[in-house]
Amino acid sequence: MRRSIAAFWVVLRKELSDALRDRRTLATVVVSSVLMGPLVLLAISGLVASLESRAEQREVYLSGVAQAPTLRNFLERQTYVVKEAPADFEARLRRSTFSDPVVVVPADFEAALVRGDVPIVEIVSDSANQRSEASTARIERLLGGFSRERALLSLALRGVSAQLLEPMQIEDRDLASTQTRATRITGMLPYFVMMAVLYGALNAALDTTAGERERGSLEPLLMNPTERWALVAGKWGAVACVSVLIAILSCFSFLPGQWVLRSDTLAAMFQYGPREAALFIVILLPLAAALAAVLMAVAIRSRSFKEAQASSTIVVLAVSLLPLVNVFDLGGEAPWHLWAPALAQNTLMTRVLKGEALGMEQVLIPLAVCIALTSVGVWYVARELHRAAVK
Amino acid sequence: MIEVRGLAKSFAAPAPTRDGGWRAWVRSRGKPAASAATSSVAPRIHAVRDVSFDAPNGRITGLLGPNGAGKTTTLRMLAALITPEAGTMRVDGIDVVARPREVLARMGVLSDSRGLYPRLTARENIVYYGALHGMEREAADARAQDLARMFEMTALLDRRAAGFSQGERMKTALVRALVHDPANIVLDEPTNGLDVLATRALRDSLRWLRSPEGGAKCIVFSTHIMQEVERLCDSVVVVAHGRTVATGTVPELLAETDERDFEEAFVKLAFVSERAGAGAAP
């Protein structure tokens, strides 16, 4: 037993230094998984900032300003600047080169208003043009205000109380804390960290199994008097270590990303400090272990690295797609989410971002699932090792 | 000392691609009788039918046979990589199937595939195996140095294996197999890919390992090259079609076949066995 444990450390050390010498692969993983997250965060913060400045600008684009002096008067009283929309605004909205919705006023707007007809005013935006879409609600509210004012005025002229029109009053009360609101934007952060874990494990897992077969070094390796489990456990330990290392890099890469956001309101909402990073790593440890074992189990059946890459696609796909259940918020949080690896970790990390406490059950279920996956994976690799060596 | 008695091993033949896989499966769905018949006579490749030999200490025993004779399969069974269907193998009196790890600790095997880790240096490749054999790193390193001197590859030791030539890889793999100073040395076609000088150096090293100063090792090596056997082996085991067809020294085998040329003698032995094998197959 003591010799097997010694052998485990020997294998672990060798595989680890071997994996860390694969500089080119490591560099690719670091660039794609570690730098990607902060960059996307930066891009999103840029978008949020542009939306905010648009809201501050208080501008409304009208097509046919001259035909609607009443509306113009109302808007200007709301301290909005009214501008004539460009002639080709439809085409420009479609091409996303124009980012404000346009209010189209019909030619006989004023006359219809006076006659008591109901003129039709269009708010033109393109739902594929996200920035124009974002301001639509604001314009709608604004025009709604205009309608209400007109109605109230005509009622007042006839001596009717304005309250008849509004038998009840509606007030908004938002339960979300600043942090919960922020997760709508930072919700993709756990996803990036998870990809870092996955791609960190992928290459090392394939190299220690299928790669070893392809090089023809598995057969001589098995001719050493080492227990099979010590060999497999050492390899698995090294793969899990590499994966955790990438995860740590990725988790901490968001900390400097935050400094860049400082000028924004987003930065105020974005609660991600060293404590959150540390919690992320604790949550990801079991996932890294399980992914290492599962990827090795899939790859040990393949004769070459290339073949292993093809067959591991299904694992990569599952880990990439499952968290999307959360990102797209399909049906809210369900109890089964905790039983699905990757999705469970995503759920837990989202909770950390929201500043919510983690319950015992929420920690134990994903942990148990990961331990089970790890055991099955390692057992399977140990079982297949000899067959793989001679085929 | 290595003793092998009545070894046998067969493998399921890979299904021919055109009739194999789901097509065959779908077809057999409709015909249960036919599927039962095919599975009962599923072709098997008898890689090794009956191989026996003794390799005493302080001698070099050559396993000579044409390609596909079952040499590699025999050596893989000896290294406990695959389990035989019949027969016994003992190394220094220890049964290979029952106590494989004890056997492997006493054996240095240069197998058919001899891959190195390209990102490690030759020294790291060698010391890794030493450590797996339970050696201290310093001891393994010192041994690597000694063996490297013997195989004239000291300059290679601290280079990464990625750019090694065939011969350099071969030498590194050989040193790696010998790092724990095993009493029994098993080499599968060790001269493959070596040039004349390297082959000579290997021969000298093996002769030294056989001598009392070198530790009087028990050396078994497989080959299909006659000259190797003539120049090096104390005794020869001729294997053809998975069977041991003749055993003895080179002069004994020449006398047995009444030939003066060893190549002729070998062809005669293998050819005779081929006819016998063909007759015995069904």
Distance (Å) from the alpha carbon of A123 to chain B's nearest alpha carbon? 59
Pairing of the two strands A59-63 and A102-104: parallel
Task: Dig out the tokens for A144 from the structure.
Answer: 């709604």
Residue extents of the structural domains in chain A:
2-46+182-390, 58-173
pLDDT digits (tens, 9 = 90+) for A325-367: 776 766 667 788 888 888 899 888 888 887 888 888 888 999 9
Mutate to test the interface with A, among B77, B113, B189 (most CBs of A within 10 A): B113
Q: Do residues B273 and B151 both lie within one domain?
A: no
Scan for tokens 């300059």, then name that residue.
B155
A23: nearest CA partner in chain B: B119
What distance in Å separates the CA atoms of residue A360 and residue A344, rounded to the nearest whole number?
14
Q: Do B36 and B44 form a contact (C-beta atoms < 8 A)?
A: no
Instruction: Note whether B132 contacts A215, CB cutoff 8 Å.
Output: no
Chain A residues in contact with B9 by the CB 8 A cut-off are none
pLDDT digits (tens, 9 = 90+) for B57-93: 999 999 999 888 889 999 999 999 999 999 999 999 9
Confidence at B37, pLDDT banded by 50, 70, 90: very low
Q: Do residues B65 and B169 both lie within one domain?
A: no
Distance (Å) from the alpha carbon of A24 to chain B's nearest alpha carbon? 12
What distance in Å separates the CA atoms of residue B110 and residue B221, rounded to the nearest whole number?
9
Nearest to A14 among B112, B116, B128 (CB): B128
Q: Do residues B160 and B59 both lie within one domain?
A: no
Q: Single out the residue in B138, B159, B181 at which a domain terminates.
A: B181
Q: Do residues B33 and B73 both lie within one domain?
A: yes
What distance in Å separates the CA atoms of residue A117 and residue A111, rounded to the nearest whole number?
9
Instruction: Note whether B115 contacts A226, CB cutoff 8 Å.
Output: no
Q: Do B84 and B9 form a contact (C-beta atoms < 8 A)?
A: yes
A303 touches chain B (CB under 8 A): no
Residue window 153-172, chain B: list those with CB within 8 Å of chain A: none
Instruction: Name the architecture of domain A58-173.
Output: 3-Layer(aba) Sandwich (3.40)
Task: State ipTM.
Answer: 0.86
Whether the predicted pLDDT of A245 surpasses 50? yes
Chain A residues in contact with B110 by the CB 8 A cut-off are 220
A217 touches chain B (CB under 8 A): yes
Q: Do residues B193 and B175 both lie within one domain?
A: no
Q: Do residues B189 and B94 both lie within one domain?
A: yes
What single string gives the DSSP state of each residue in A269-300?
H----HHHHHHHHHHHHHHHHHHHHHHHHHHT
Q: Do residues B23 and B47 both lie within one domain?
A: yes
**Strand, coil or helix: what is B30?**
helix
A389 touches chain B (CB under 8 A): yes
Q: Do residues B22 and B81 both lie within one domain?
A: yes
Instruction: Note whether B134 contacts A390, CB cutoff 8 Å.
Output: no
A115 alpha carbon, distance to own chain's centre = 53
φ/ψ bin of B276: left (φ > 0), alpha (ψ from -120 to 50), beta (otherwise): alpha
B132 touches chain A (CB under 8 A): yes
Domain that holds residue B176: 115-181
Q: What one-character DSSP code corresponds to residue A358?
A: P
Q: Do residues B155 and B245 both lie within one domain?
A: no
Report the CATH number at residue B53.
3.40.50.300
Lowest average pLDDT, out of A294-298, A330-334, B144-148, B162-166, goes to: A330-334
Instruction: Note whether A224 contacts B132, CB cutoff 8 Å.
Output: yes
Residue B123: Cβ within 10 Å count: 19
A20: nearest CA partner in chain B: B119
Confidence at A191, pLDDT banded by 50, 70, 90: confident
Chain A residues in contact with B131 by the CB 8 A cut-off are 7, 10, 14
Lowest average pLDDT, out of A255-259, A357-361, B96-100, B101-105, goes to: A255-259
β-pair partners for B12: B44
Task: Dig out the tokens for A2 from the structure.
Answer: 């003591």
Q: Where would I find the H helices in A67-207?
A: 69-77, 89-94, 109-115, 130-157, 178-186, 189-206
**Strand, coil or helix: what is A333?**
coil
Q: Single out the residue in B181, B201, B217 at which a domain terminates.
A: B181
Whether the predicted pLDDT of A178 surpasses 60? no
Q: Of B67, B177, B205, B25, give the one whose Cα is nearest residue B113.
A: B177
Instruction: Note whether B115 contacts A217, CB cutoff 8 Å.
Output: yes
What distance in Å separates the CA atoms of residue B117 and residue B128, rounded to the nearest whole number?
10
B101 touches chain A (CB under 8 A): yes
**Between chain A and chain B, how many beta carbons pairs sit less than 8 Å apart?**
83
Distance (Å) from the alpha carbon of A192 to chain B's nearest alpha carbon? 30
Chain B residues in contact with A221 by the CB 8 A cut-off are 132
**Strand, coil or helix: what is B79?**
coil
Distances (CA, A) of B155 to A228, B165, B204: 34, 14, 20
Instruction: Convert A228-277 into a string of H (helix), E (strand) and C (coil).
Output: HHHHHHHHHHHHHHHHHHHHHHHHHHHHHHHHHCCCCHHHHHCCCCHHHH
Instruction: Note whether B109 contacts A220, CB cutoff 8 Å.
Output: yes
β-pair partners for B220: B61, B186
Contacts of A40 (CB under 8 A, 6+ apart): A188, A192
Give me the amino acid identity at A141. Answer: R
Q: Do residues B172 and B186 both lie within one domain?
A: no
Distance (Å) from the alpha carbon of B233 to chain A's nearest alpha carbon? 24
- A58 φ/ψ angles, rounded to the nearest 5 degrees: 50, 65
Task: Dig out the tokens for A250 from the structure.
Answer: 């990725």
Q: Of A242, A229, A204, A201, give the one whose Cα is nearest residue A8.
A: A229
Provide mean pLDDT across the span A304-317.
92
Confidence at B154, pLDDT banded by 50, 70, 90: very high
Chain A residues in contact with B173 by the CB 8 A cut-off are 220
Distance (Å) from the alpha carbon of B218 to chain A's nearest alpha carbon? 17
Q: Of A210, A198, A190, give the one whose Cα is nearest residue A318.
A: A198
Q: Do residues B163 and B71 both lie within one domain?
A: no
B182: nearest CA partner in chain A: A224
Distances (CA, A) of B229 to A64, B33, B62, B203, B225: 102, 52, 6, 11, 7
pLDDT winner (highest mean) among A188-192, A316-320, A328-332: A316-320
pLDDT digits (tens, 9 = 90+) for A60-113: 888 888 888 888 888 888 888 888 888 888 888 888 788 888 889 888 888 888
Give the number of domains in chain B.
Answer: 2
Whether the predicted pLDDT of A36 surpasses 80? no
Q: Do residues B231 and B131 both lie within one domain?
A: no
A227 touches chain B (CB under 8 A): yes
